[in-house]
Amino acid sequence: MKKHNFYAGPSILPQFTIENTAKAVQDLNGIGLSIMEISHRSKEFQAVIDEAQDLFKELLNIPEGYSVLFMGGGASTQFAMIPFNFFNKKAAYLNTGAWAKKAIKEAKFFGEVDVVATSEDKTFNYIPKGYTVPEDADYFHITTNNTIYGTEIREDLEVGVPLIADMSSDIFSRTLDVSKYTVIYGGAQKNLGPAGVTFVIIKNDALGKVDRPIPTMLNYQTHIDKGSMFNTPPCLPIYASLMTLRWIKENGGVAAMQKRAEQKANLLYSEIERNKCFKGTVTDPADRSFMNICFVMNDGFEDYEKDFMELATSQGMIGIKGHRSVGGFRASTYNALPIESVEALIEVMQEFEKKH
């Protein structure tokens, strides 16, 4: 039976990425050694990281004056690195979910944090609007896509202070104006590669403006100066990410990924709205994530949640159980998920509806 991988992360990767990384684990480009056993200082791995950086810049149209870094520690380490490098007197944050809260928690170690708006009052099922970012904030931090709650900021915000964005789960799914951001960062394990590498896109001239001493490994300048090679980088996940970047380019680039994302999301949201058994958790279409589509049993059908899960699992649907903190269901429709998997899930939903 074909498996349809809706895991929220680590998540589905292109077959191109999996197959070519597997070959490199056996033998990298015919050199007789595995990608897992060559030195990160070798010319072979330098070529990998150079191409990965170049493709990042090409696919996202990153302007001059920005660096692309590959680091360890996950996005969670970035929650502390951001204030270490940018927090002087006050920072502004938008609270849209669990990961935004974790970032806020780390920033509070450094001083005053202005949470300009939050959607916690309604279990984070919307994106706050109409807030004001203080002009004296050192930066404004957002989490663009909220995997647990199924909301997404699908536009590049206009704010009067440096904009910093955690794009762990929607990077490469829509076109961006990178020039509007000071930092974009994220874990790779959604749309880019396996867990283990974190990407950082950073505006070079924004650094060096805090007075505090910064630990060497937590200083972005360290990693810019050494080309992500200050310490041993996560070589295998970087190689796999390079394969995904090649796949994106070969399949039409980020604009094509955006079109695919919209098509898949619109199909599934339309079925959720039509089907009497289900309802979406994010009511405003403008706030709905195109990466993580969250839904629950409709009123009167709450007792059938287990039945639907069993039916979906029997039909090869993997990873659709909602996050433990909210329950229900979540279909993650990252770039590598084929539209056929969305269509298969819709068929299961329609079959369930006929039975009930």
**One-letter amino acid of 63:** P
Residue 113 pLDDT > 90: yes
Query: Which ranges of the chain does DSSP label H, i.e. alpha helix?
Result: 15-26, 43-59, 74-86, 98-107, 220-225, 235-250, 253-274, 305-314, 339-355
Active site residue 190: yes
* Cα–Cα distance for residue pair 181/178, rounded to 1 Å: 6
Which residue out of 138, 170, 190, 247 is catalytically annotated?
190
pLDDT tens-digit series, residues 221-269 = 999 999 999 999 999 999 999 999 999 999 999 999 999 999 999 999 9
Cα–Cα distance measured from residue 348 to residue 231, given in angstroms and rounded to the nearest whole number: 48
Q: How many CA atoms lie within 13 A of 295 on its CB side?
A: 27
For this structure, is 114 an active site residue? Answer: no
Domains of the chain: 15-250 (3.40.640.10), 253-355 (3.90.1150.10)
- Is 188:198 a contact under the CB 8 Å cutoff? yes
Residue 151, pLDDT score: 98
Q: Is the dihedral of CA 343, 348, 349, 351 positive or negative?
A: positive
Which amino acid appears at position 356 of this protein?
A: H
CA 91 to the chain's CA centroid:
22
Percent of the chain, pLDDT > 90?
98
Which member of 166, 170, 287, 321 is catalytic?
166
The pLDDT of residue 325: 86
What's the pLDDT tens digit per position in 20-39?
Answer: 999 999 999 999 999 999 99
pLDDT at 70: 98
The pLDDT of 284-294, averaged and rounded, is 98
Catalytic residue among 99, 247, 264, 287: 99
Per-position b or e across 187-196, b if 16+ CB within 10 A of its CB: bbbbbbbbeb
Residue 3 annotated as catalytic: no
Would you state the pLDDT for residue 57? Answer: 98
- Take residue 5 and report the two structure tokens written for it: 């991988």
Nearest to 69 by CA among 253, 238, 182, 239: 238
**Residues 27, 227 contacting (CB under 8 angstroms):** no
Q: How far apart are CA 164 and CA 183, in angstroms?
A: 5
Rounded to whole angstroms, how far apart are CA atoms 138 and 46?
35
> Edge-to-edge strands of the sheet including 140-143?
66-71, 198-203, 183-187, 163-166, 140-143, 90-95, 112-118
- pLDDT, tens only, 294-343: 999 999 999 999 999 999 999 999 999 999 889 899 999 999 999 999 99
Report d(CA 53, CA 68) in Å as an integer. Answer: 6
The first and second tokens of residue 102, run together, are 């974790």
